[in-house]
Amino acid sequence: MDAKKPIRLSQHAKEQAHYRGCNEEEVMETIRTSHWEKAELERLQCKKDFPFNKIWNAQEYKTKQVKSVFMEERDEIVVVTVYVYYF
């Protein structure tokens, strides 16, 4: 597992990241600095908490957690989807 490989977000991952309230930099930081775990369909996942202290969907949250689901290919990491949790 090589977190130094280039990271590319699929179109779906880009759309979901935006829709769920995070940006590509947070997705990349999550992959580069968090522990990778196995996910379904031979994919990998990792998650990272970010300070938030803002309002999302009319409710205030202190923390935003970004969860990236990705595949490690030979020359790059391809992000398949992104989940964002607020608490």
Query: pLDDT digits over 23-79, tens only?
Result: 999 999 999 999 999 999 999 999 999 999 999 999 999 999 999 999 999 999 999
Domain count along the chain: 1
pLDDT reading at 2 higher than 80: no
Q: Is residue 69 part of a domain?
A: yes
CA dihedral for 32, 35, 37, 39, sign (positive or negative): negative
pLDDT at position 18 over 80: yes
Residue with tokens 């992959």: 31
In a domain, 2, yes or no: no
Q: 72 by DSSP, 3-state: which?
A: strand
Within-domain flag for 59: yes
Structural domain containing residue 82: 7-86
Residue 1 domain flag: no
